[in-house]
Structure 1
């Protein structure tokens, strides 16, 4: 939509002005280093000639309103596509800078309930600059006053009078934005505030609370001007609308991230807190979890007469139910391993019977190995699980195991075990299917990549099972495990025999 340029004196037309975004034409002179409007965002300026006919004024005003709505729609569409707190904060900070006509800014995530997470990100500010700003006393900084001045919502049961303990929660009061038009002349500022502003080269700021009555306080955003300035009423209105929408979006992402963190914590608590120390073998494990928390697990437990039980497995499904099933399966396998660990087939047969009786709608894969480190002897059996990989100076090869269906897929499970004797200095890698599937390749291609990754372990790293595991993971998943991408967990258990 075309914008109408304001009419004025030649000197006025040549003076710097705020970028026109969504029909905004501030009367406050803008600094020469303010940002340009966001790409693709329409702009229109309201008419400044009061002598225009009423009909033309109304049409221009309506056109400006339509432009404002279009701008907000496009900005909120961009924001809603973000799926992480960090991404949403950065998008909000950039869009807000364009709306208020600033070049730099910072956003602080600090939920009022104290449950975290907390973070600070900057726009046009280096990490050292953010640290410098944080040296300003919170009571003097505008964003600090917003963070400390917003009361939390009343706890449940302490709400409206006459409703007893079931009273609804009273919404939190949202503070007004804080504009500092000129840091040098603003009253009540701490001298450190003026010193930091001079050092970083900003002269004014506009701070917006990231808060709504329902979501409470999540944080605050502040934008910095290079010259004395402040947004006019129209810009304030637009950034206020956008800020409320951004806060609600951040509140949803916050709940999702907290849920993922709780699931990851539960998963870690269900797995061994540390690996045992058994003479003749060194152990290392790497466990990467997805956003929903899968059912991949591992175990290593000392057995009588210096033996060692090693296990990896995966339970179908994701989320709390899969984690609960995984915990029950792992605990049961430990009991069966103590009773009859020398016979891995018997251990998995017992596990199959338990799964069919307690989890009839769920399947699982598992691999159990009975190791005697002193003799460098391993007896193992697998149920629908990928074969182990032996990595040494003179060979890198998969262990030939018999094909078998996963647990819970047959009325009676049983498959022959296999025996291997790793040479001194060789490392046996046990892993879950998530390691292969996270590569995104077909199964045969994923196996080939895993073999190539293990073969390329530097000779200097082969004496350390942790270094072997790290090299394999870096080679197969160079970008790491993206926590925002749905997918299976990854478990890699390495045992190096002396």
Structure 2
């Protein structure tokens, strides 16, 4: 008699033998990891979170000064210090060194500079060979005043400033080399723990790469600004009956906004502002060519601004057909207080005086290079004695961030609010208008717009 078959349930064949390698069922819940391991894991997560937050804040800085300040504060937080000092001096660079203090005033920095560099941990890091162990791992001085070999002047300064210990760290990486060093000061004897040294070392290496990028960026911006300055007038002419002032700012990538003021025959004066489309070296080069061409046309036929701009438009269309530009040229006779101007897609001048503040009504015209043949009628007006004619580029309006109609209204209000005591000084007029239009300053680094303002005050 055969053995009875066990019933099959849900597709499982009970006759299939159970593997002898199958683990026995759990009869109790395994014990939780030890508290020590949990604490260490929690500590690692906390350290990584802190490091991530600090590096994110550093990466958000767009200028070298902001990055250096952030580095000093973050380093102080990582090593548990309250004050610090940072020196940035790239080896082989002609750029002057930068010194920045945290919790140290100018007088404190002056006292620190009286200590011989070789007597300080930071100085040994800065002047020592890059491959030295101290230059890689940093130098901890846990008890400065207890060090019998401490330089007497260093001891005197430490006592005066009230710090008893320090930790110095190089700002170096394999890619960027050594850019400088930082030192943090403790009010009491002590030194950072091994974990703190590890974290601040990781942060410093990341910060070094970021500082190297910002240093190269600022050097490139400085080179661009220098080229732009060379393309613009080195000085403004002196013409009887009129006084001039100009302010300009070139964007970080280099732009095409320009201005000019040149003496013309018969004691006349030519004033011009303009903007070439695009940015970068190409736009700057085109701006230089356009300005030089306009100067030549102005000398030959400056009394007819329409002819000057017509010739300029023809030259642009023949030599650079893919480029557009705006321009405004004014022929001034200061003795007769007469101004004749023509504009090609450019913003209208503004006249400011004791009795009026208004835009000059100009005819609507397309920019140069937009039409097959450019020509627009000129406009003539007579500034009263003591009035100032303000020429500018649209970068001034765009920098405000407002819509163009609101920006024009804002410029009008800025000019109208010039104090009466300063209305007879063209430099004071331009500075007041810029302060009113751009409260954050003309040199704000995060703006890509060029700005040009040219003021002519008629006596």
Q: TM-score, normalised by structure 1?
A: 0.82
Conservation of the 8 A alpha-carbon contact between 2:171 and 2:205? yes
1:357 is matched with: 318
1:88 is matched with: 67
Shift of 1:481: 2.6
1:474 is matched with: 435
CA distance 1:455–1:63, change in 2 (3 Å): closer
* SS of residue paired to 1:488: coil
1:277 is matched with: 238
Q: Which runs of 5+ in 1 are unaligned?
A: 1-52, 153-171
Shift of 1:263: 0.7
Q: Is residue 126 of structure 2 the alignment partner of residue 147 of structure 1?
A: yes
Conservation of the 8 A alpha-carbon contact between 1:295 and 1:322? yes
Q: Is residue 392 of structure 2 the alignment partner of residue 431 of structure 1?
A: yes
Cα deviations across residues 139-185 of structure 1 (Å, max 9, x unaligned)?
11221222222459xxxxxxxxxxxxxxxxxxx99543111111112
1:262 is matched with: 223
Higher Rg of the two aligned structures:
2
* SS of residue paired to 1:194: helix
In 2, distance between residues paired with 1:466 and 1:364?
27
Q: Is residue 112 of structure 2 the alignment partner of residue 133 of structure 1?
A: yes
Q: TM-score, normalised by structure 2?
A: 0.89
* SS of residue paired to 1:89: helix
In 2, distance between residues paired with 1:98 and 1:80?
17
Conservation of the 8 A alpha-carbon contact between 2:327 and 2:346? yes
In 1, distance between residues paired with 2:320 and 2:338?
34
In 2, distance between residues paired with 1:195 and 1:58?
47
* SS of residue paired to 2:117: coil
In 1, distance between residues paired with 2:96 and 2:374?
46
Aligned with residue 356 of structure 2, among 359, 371, 395: 395
CA distance 1:385–1:65, change in 2 (3 Å): same
* SS of residue paired to 2:329: strand
Shift of 1:289: 2.3
Aligned with residue 50 of structure 2, among 53, 71, 75: 71
In 1, distance between residues paired with 2:372 and 2:129?
62
Conservation of the 8 A alpha-carbon contact between 2:125 and 2:134? no
Compute the RMSD of aligned alpha carbons.
1.9
* SS of residue paired to 2:266: helix
* SS of residue paired to 2:65: helix
1:370 is matched with: 331
2:306 is matched with: 345
1:414 is matched with: 375
Conservation of the 8 A alpha-carbon contact between 2:430 and 2:455? yes
Shift of 1:260: 0.9
Q: Which runs of 5+ in 2 are unaligned?
A: 1-31
Conservation of the 8 A alpha-carbon contact between 2:241 and 2:334? yes
Shift of 1:81: 1.1
Conservation of the 8 A alpha-carbon contact between 1:140 and 1:188? no
1:23 is matched with: none
Aligned with residue 240 of structure 1, among 196, 201, 224: 201
Residues 432-471 of structure 1 aligned to structure 2 (within 5 Å): 432-471=393-432
CA distance 1:491–1:423, change in 2 (3 Å): same
Conservation of the 8 A alpha-carbon contact between 2:249 and 2:443? no
CA distance 1:214–1:55, change in 2 (3 Å): same
Cα deviations across residues 453-488 of structure 1 (Å, max 9, x unaligned)?
111211111111111111111111122135322331
Conservation of the 8 A alpha-carbon contact between 2:271 and 2:329? yes
Aligned with residue 204 of structure 1, among 149, 165, 170: 165
In 2, distance between residues paired with 1:238 and 1:151?
21
2:279 is matched with: 318
Shift of 1:310: 0.5
In 2, distance between residues paired with 1:209 and 1:252?
17
1:14 is matched with: none
* SS of residue paired to 1:374: coil
User: Which range moved further: 361-370 or 56-65?
Assistant: 56-65
